[in-house]
Amino acid sequence: MSKNWIEEAISKKYIKYYNYKDFFNSEVIGSGGFGKVYRANWKNSRNILALKSFRDSTNKNIVEELKIQCEVHFHDNIIKFYGITEVNDYGSKKYYMLVMEYADSGTLQNYLEKNIANLNWDKKFKMANQLACAVSCLHDMNITHRDLRSSNVLVHQNNIKLKVDVPKLSKKYDVIPYIDPTKFFADLHSLDKKSDVYSIGVLLWEISSCRSPFKDVSNQYRLQNQILQGLRETPMPSTPKDYEQIYTDCWKPEPDDRPTIQNVVSRLEEIMVKRNITTKHVWAPPINNLSRNNLSQGFNNNIYNKIKVEPLKSPSKAPQASFYKQKSKKEIVDGIAALADNIYDENKKQRILDYIKDHHTTSKEIFDWLLNNQNGINPNIVLGDFHYLGIATMVDKRKAFDYYVQAALEESSIAQYTLGILCENDEKDTFQAMYWFDKCAKQGNQDAINHYYRLKSSKNKTFNPANLHSVMGKMNLGNEEERKGFSLQDFKLPFV
C-alpha cells in the first residue's frame, strides 16, 4: 500500500520525481536518528538542494514523512519539500530520498554562535518573529511540532527556515532545556501546542543571548530537576523589557498560563512596529510572454503557486529597486497576480496595497483598468482578489468566486488552489474543493496535494449544487439541452 501510494503520487505528478543521476558533489551535512542529510548540486548548475535519507528506509516511514512534508509545505520560513528521488545502492536495495530546500547557514545554534558580533536587536527581532510565524502557521493547521530546538531550526540567507519532521523521541540530554517540564516523563505524543510555546520561549531567549540554554551545566539529571522546580535562564542585561516579558510568559510552569503562539506573534509584531522594523517578503517578478498553462510542471512552476520564492533561484534574482520603475497597468496587474498569497492571509490585502503604492499608482486606477481589460488569467485573478478583499470596491465574495472560476478554467493553478480553499471553507463544499485541489495538484502544487488527500480521507463530505451551476455558467453551457447533458461526472469529482 505504501509503495503504491508513493508511485501513484509520482505518476500523477503530485510529487516531483528527480533522477538521482542528476545530482553531483554530494556531501553529508547532518545526521541523526532519522538518517543522513546531504547537500548536492542538481544538474549542471550551481543550484544546491538537500537530500534526506532514512535510517529505516521502509516505505511506511517514508510515506509518513511525505505526508508531514506535504502538510506543511506553504510557509516562507519552513523548509520546503521539492520532491523525491530513488537511489540504487550499488545494485542492491533501492530506497527513496526526499529532495528538500537547502539552508546555507546551517542550524540556528551554529549561526548564533558565529554571528554574535553581527546581530543587533533589529535582526534578532526579525528572526524571532519569523520563527514564531512559522510555528503559528503550524498551529493554525492544528499541527504540533513537538521538537522545537535550535538544532532543528535552520538559517538561509539570514532568514529562519524551520525543519518539520516526523517527531521522534530524542535521548540526547541537550534537548532537556527545550522540553516542556510538565511533559518530562510523559509520552512524546502528549506534547501539545502549549509545549511548543514553552520551547519557543527558550528559543527566543537563545536568539537574544546567542548562546545555548544552560550551556555550561554538565549534570543534566540535576538540571532536569531544577527546571521542574522553576529554574530558567537569566535574561541578558540589554534585553528590551517587552521582549523579555514575551519569552518569560512562554516558559511559565503552568501551560494554561502561557500565551498562544498567535499572541506571541502579535506581541513581537508590536515591538517591530515600535522600532520601525519591516519584514520584506521576497517577490518574484512575472515572467513575460509566457502563459501559465504553458509553464513546465514541478518546482519551476512555484512562482505561480503559493510559494513566494522560485526554488533553485539565487537570491540575487530577487527584485531590486529597478523593478519599481514605472510600469504599465498590465505589468502591475501581472505583478499583483504573481504575489500569490493565500486568500485567507491576513496580510494579503496590505501586501497588494503596498505593491500598488510602490509602483506609483492607486487601487482605483488599477480597478478601473481591470474592468476594461477582463480577458486573460491575471486580470480575473486580481479582480477576484479585489472583490474578495474589498480593494477599490465593496466586498462581493460571489463575484470574486466567479472571477476565480474564469481564471481556473484557463488552468491557473493560483485560481484553482484559491477555489479549493473557498469551496471548503466559505461554501462548505468539500467535493468541489477536492476537484479544484486535484486540478491544482496536477500542476505541481504541493499544498494542493495535501488538501486533496486530507479531504479524500474525510468521512464528512458536503456538496453545494450552487457552485456547480456557477462553473457551468462560466463554461458557456448556454442552452437547456447542453445543461441537461452536463453532470457532476463531467467534472470527474473525486468522490472516494
Binding-site entries = 52
Kindly give the residue spans of alpha helices, DSSP state H, lying in 41-186.
59-72, 108-114, 121-140
Compute the distance between CA of residue 299 and CA of residue 67 in angstroms, rounded to an integer: 18
Compute the distance between CA of residue 151 and CA of residue 259 in angstroms, rounded to an integer: 24
Which residues are part of a known binding site for ATP?
A: 52
Contact indicator for 303, 414 with CB cutoff of 8 Å = no
**Strand pairing report for 36-42 and 23-31:** antiparallel
- The CA–CA distances, whole Å, from 419 to 427, 428, 429, 434, 487 equal 10, 12, 10, 10, 19
Residue 317 φ then ψ, to 5°: -80, -5
Compute the distance between CA of residue 29 and CA of residue 384 in angstroms, rounded to an integer: 45
Contact indicator for 319, 327 with CB cutoff of 8 Å = no
Q: How far is CA 444 from the centre of its chain?
A: 15
3-class secondary structure, 191? coil
Contact indicator for 283, 318 with CB cutoff of 8 Å = yes
3-class secondary structure, 156? strand
Residue 415 φ then ψ, to 5°: -65, -40
Contact indicator for 63, 5 with CB cutoff of 8 Å = yes
Contact indicator for 402, 470 with CB cutoff of 8 Å = yes
